[in-house]
A = this chain, B = another copy of it.
Amino acid sequence: MAPFKDSEGSPTGAAPGTSVTPPRTVTVGTALKWVVPVLAGLVVYLLPQPDGIKSGGWAVLAIFTATVLGLILQPLPLGAVALVGLTVTMITGTLEPDVALGGFSEPTIWLIVAAFFISLGFTKTGLGRRIALLFVRALGRSSLGLAYGITLTDLVLAPATPSNTARSGGVIQPVIRSLSENAGSHPGDESRRTLGAYLTVTAMQINTVTSAMFLTSMAANPLVQKLAADHDIHLTWTSWALAAIVPGLVALLVLPALLYRVFPPTVRATPEAPGQARAQLAELGRMSRQEWTMAAVFVLLLLLWSVGGQVWDLSATVSAFTGVALLLVTGVLTWGDLVAEKSAWTTLVWFSVLVMMAGQLQELGVIGWFSDTMTKATDGVGWQTAFVILTLVYLFSHYLFASNTAHVAAMYAAFLSAAIATGAPPVMAALVLGFISSLYGGLTHYASGPAPVLFGGGYVTLGEWWRTGLIAAGANIVIWMGVGALWLKVLGHW
């Protein structure tokens, strides 16, 4: 089984109830974690190389295979695996150092790093918690109202919080816990189902939707953008948000209500919650100067991201850097905060390495060869059928992955390329596969960063988690392939 970790790569430890494995098994398991990636890389390397691949391309595929398997099995943490993979590309002479290190200057990468820093501002200033309390005060009279309050909080924070784990773990999870405890719903005993379990699964599934909605709301989305750009498909912050807004809002409306039916809380009225939120808000007092600054920078960022691209030709990365610079100059964040944000630096390293490898696979003809092969395989099937099959395979293969980003890095480019080769309209294919890249994040308790954090709260059993995950995935398929497809048609993407 895949290990528990968040999508930024920091292990969150074993989930409650995991039994201690005897040392012997650990040793064999540890050895396998090393042997499998290395062996797989060697096997790929020794396979007969198809025609049309440039020099070094097949070796990059072998190293890429080993690295991605390493990211999944994690004999070492993500950053270390990526660094070893990077070293192998250079020491074997497969790529020159300046090419191999090229990922580190991709604007895509720095958009993520900058956005990690911006989201720090929400937690550090307490603005994130305040926003959550405001929604609870307004909507919290019932369990369903609370769920929508959590949904709105997540949605408001999403555009500036690419760490969906930070959003879930840093803002939403503490609020769920405090709401549930106050309502007498505790993890580990029967009271868990009164409120906590429902709010937890809703928060999880909602988070996958908000992650899908903005270029900057999930760490792997800019990677999707970059991989699509390698196929000459140029997704902007605005075009992404516009394409996702309709199915996204429908999903955010439907999912809390659907989960309320299939996995209901036993307490439905929570009359005290608004009062408690009001008390906590009173305790917080007025917004501090730091919170105001953070709010102002956030509004500016939303403006720059949405209209800045059109009006001033500002890239999302430049806008994000402007936000970080303002937060530093105003003292909301310090350099010490930034340099201590380990997930940003870890992400910088493994993301850069994956982006570089994926780019080289494209550059050196490997992706082209794969899509040619796929085209031949689906010859005679209409593109619609082929695309639905590809999408479903892409979605459900996530049972094998413990991170959205690892999955995107491993399979997105190949599936996009295959979809286009079967005749699917490129922009539509890039967007739909991009949305799926977030939506599969709630399938299992290890599926994405937020999953182990929320599951670790202890309100939901493994069986309940997988069952609600599957139900929500089904609902998302209907919504995003139904309403979503119609909306993309309206936008002229197919």
Which residues on A are within 8 Å of B, measured CB to CB?
76-80, 83-84, 86-88, 90-91, 97-98, 101-107, 110, 314-315, 317-318, 321-322, 324-325, 328-329, 334-336, 338-340, 342, 345-346
Return the contact of A339 from the options B79, B315, B338 (Cβ within 8 A): B79
Return the contact of A87 from the options B84, B324, B338 (Cβ within 8 A): B324
Q: How far is the CA of A90 from the CA of B321 in the complex (A)?
A: 9
Residue pair B106, A110 in contact (C-beta under 8 Å): no
* A338 contacts across to B, CB distance below 8 A: 79-80, 83
Contact A83/B342 with A101-B106, A101-B110, A329-B76 known, Cβ cut-off 8 Å: no
CB distance from A110 to the nearest CB of B (A): 6
Residue pair B335, A87 in contact (C-beta under 8 Å): no
Residue pair A101, B97 in contact (C-beta under 8 Å): no
Return the contact of A315 from the options B79, B87, B97 (Cβ within 8 A): B97
* A342 contacts across to B, CB distance below 8 A: 339-340
Interface residues of A: mostly helix, strand, loop or mixed? helix
Residue pair B103, A105 in contact (C-beta under 8 Å): yes
* A340 contacts across to B, CB distance below 8 A: 342
Q: How far is the CA of A116 from the CA of B265 in the complex (A)?
A: 53
Residue pair B101, A329 in contact (C-beta under 8 Å): no
Residue pair A87, B321 in contact (C-beta under 8 Å): yes
Residue pair A104, B107 in contact (C-beta under 8 Å): no
* A103 contacts across to B, CB distance below 8 A: 105
Residue pair A105, B101 in contact (C-beta under 8 Å): yes
Q: How far is the CA of A328 from the CA of B85 in the complex (A)?
A: 12
Residue pair A325, B101 in contact (C-beta under 8 Å): no
Q: How far is the CA of A90 from the CA of B323 in the complex (A)?
A: 13
Residue pair A328, B105 in contact (C-beta under 8 Å): no
Residue pair B83, A328 in contact (C-beta under 8 Å): yes
CB distance from A301 to the nearest CB of B (A): 13
Residue pair B345, A83 in contact (C-beta under 8 Å): no
Copies of this protein chain in the complex: 2
Besides A80-B335, A83-B338, A90-B321, 10 other CB < 8 A contacts? A84-B329, A87-B321, A87-B324, A88-B325, A90-B318, A91-B314, A97-B107, A97-B110, A104-B104, A105-B105
Chain B, residue nearest A102 (CB): B105
Instruction: Give me 16 A-to-B residue pairs in the complex whose CB atoms sit less than 8 angstroms apart, sorted by A's number.
Output: A79-B338, A79-B339, A80-B328, A80-B334, A83-B325, A87-B325, A90-B318, A91-B314, A91-B318, A91-B321, A97-B315, A98-B105, A98-B107, A101-B105, A101-B317, A102-B105
Q: How far is the CA of A334 from the CA of B78 in the complex (A)?
A: 11
* A98 contacts across to B, CB distance below 8 A: 105-107
* A345 contacts across to B, CB distance below 8 A: 339, 345
CB distance from A346 to the nearest CB of B (A): 5
Q: How far is the CA of A345 from the CA of B104 in the complex (A)?
A: 13
Residue pair B77, A335 in contact (C-beta under 8 Å): yes
Return the contact of A322 from the options B78, B87, B328 (Cβ within 8 A): B87
* A91 contacts across to B, CB distance below 8 A: 314, 318, 321-322
Residue pair A336, B77 in contact (C-beta under 8 Å): yes
CB distance from A386 to the nearest CB of B (A): 35
CB distance from A136 to the nearest CB of B (A): 35
Q: How far is the CA of A161 from the CA of B107 in the complex (A)?
A: 31
* A107 contacts across to B, CB distance below 8 A: 97-98, 101
Return the contact of A335 from the options B79, B88, B97, B317 (Cβ within 8 A): B79
Return the contact of A97 from the options B90, B318, B324 (Cβ within 8 A): B318
Residue pair A83, B334 in contact (C-beta under 8 Å): no
Chain B, residue nearest A340 (CB): B342
